[in-house]
Amino acid sequence: MSCDFLALAQPGVQKLSPYVPGKPVDELARELNLDPAGIVKLASNENPLGPSPKVLAAIQAELPELTRYPDGNGFALKQRLAQRYAVRSEQITLGNGSNDILELVARAYLAPGLNAVFSEHAFAVYPIATQAVGATGKVVPAKNWGHDLDAMAAAIDENTRVVFIANPNNPTGTWFGADELGRFLARVPESVLVVLDEAYIEYAEGSDLPDGLEFLAAHPNLLVSRTFSKAYGLAALRVGYAISSAQIAGVLNRVRQPFNVNSLALAAACAALDDTEYLTASRKANTAGMRQLETAFAELGLQWIASKGNFIAVDFARDAAPINQALLREGVIVRPIASYGMPTFLRVSIGTEAENARFIEVLHKVLAS
């Protein structure tokens, strides 16, 4: 008889449920024999505008170097980020997506016997990264679907090494202000690393969402994590970054893969940072699309959670799984979030005006039947 290699995995890994991504368009097309061109995917908080021409040109220019390893230190991108955000290059950690950053933190600072604090309804990668290294996740009940920062601070114990918070949070879209963040950071012991996940921060410019970087000087235990996957539109390339103290960045640098960000991603991210036109267009489309969906939900008598991300969680006040199935049959992919403890909700990413309109049309049909 062969060995049970599940039982041989470390206990944290045995209990892990893998991350469930949004259903790919081609998969749904195969399953239902649909034309992929007619399918609308609003399931993974992807940028609906398509890649920026400047990014495509940067990738094209990099292609002849494909046989070479990338710059393992990401010198050019770090330099640009340092300039943009008035920090030192030594404070920056580049990641294979910001998902990589979260895992580097877990690997460097968590272990069996230690714990990470995060909120109910928080990003699924926090429990995965925590359990994968054998540490325990301390889940703090949410307040009005958002982070209860007071309760999170109170949940920190002598074995807590990391707190994961997201602003805005995915999948709820909820956020906290500068005062709340300041009060929270003041309460967290200096020895506990606070990971402030700002994956959607670029959508929030000009709003009351705080800029985590402004808290770095006063709080050396803070790490701000950001990504090129959302507002910059580079999800497929996998590139994100963290800004922290140089010491924390140095620790993360010890555990990362030597070439964790590929050369096309590095070139694309540099080009994307300079492409203010694309970012402005992303924000504009997102604001308009958010209003389009909110208006439709109101007309349908549905409740939703106000969101500062590029997605919105809508409540059907009953099991949303059959509604999701009916939407899929019509070629519309959104995200069920029952695994986040929200079985009556679906999370809908903001698409183009036409994609949103198609979703709304199909939703009307599904809810009428």
By the criterion CB under 6 A, which residues form the site for ligand PLP? 45, 97-99, 123, 166, 170, 197, 199, 227, 229-230, 235, 240
According to DSSP, residue 279 is labeled H
Q: Could you report how far apart the first and last alpha carbons of the chain are, in Å?
A: 53
Distance CA 174, CA 323 (A): 24
Give DSSP secondary structure letters for 162-180. Answer: EEEEESS-TTT-----HHH
Distance CA 171, CA 344 (A): 13
Beta strand 345-349 with 311-315 is antiparallel
Minimum distance of ligand PLP from residue 103's CB (angstroms): 10
Q: Which is nearer to ligand PLP, 186 or 255 (CB)?
A: 255
Minimum distance of ligand PLP from residue 292's CB (angstroms): 21
According to DSSP, residue 70 is labeled P
Q: Are 137 and 116 in contact (CB under 8 A)?
A: yes
Minimum distance of ligand PLP from residue 238's CB (angstroms): 6
Q: Which residue is nearest to ligand PLP (CB)?
A: 97
Q: Which is nearer to ligand PLP, 127 or 331 (CB)?
A: 127
What element of type H or E holds 255? Answer: helix 246-255
Look-up of token digits 């903001």 = 350
Q: Which is nearer to ligand PLP, 174 or 245 (CB)?
A: 174
Q: Which is nearer to ligand PLP, 110 or 165 (CB)?
A: 165
Minimum distance of ligand PLP from residue 199's CB (angstroms): 4
What element of type H or E holds 226? Answer: strand 222-227
Half-sphere exposure of 263 (CA within 13 A, CB side): 12
Minimum distance of ligand PLP from residue 310's CB (angstroms): 9
Amino acid letter for position 101: I
Minimum distance of ligand PLP from residue 36's CB (angstroms): 23
Q: Which is nearer to ligand PLP, 199 or 296 (CB)?
A: 199
The residues facing 223 across adjacent strands are 195
Q: Which is nearer to ligand PLP, 47 or 358 (CB)?
A: 47
Beta strand 40-41 with 332-333 is parallel
The residues facing 349 across adjacent strands are 311
Q: Which is nearer to ligand PLP, 123 or 316 (CB)?
A: 123
Minimum distance of ligand PLP from residue 276's CB (angstroms): 20
Distance CA 305, CA 231 (A): 20
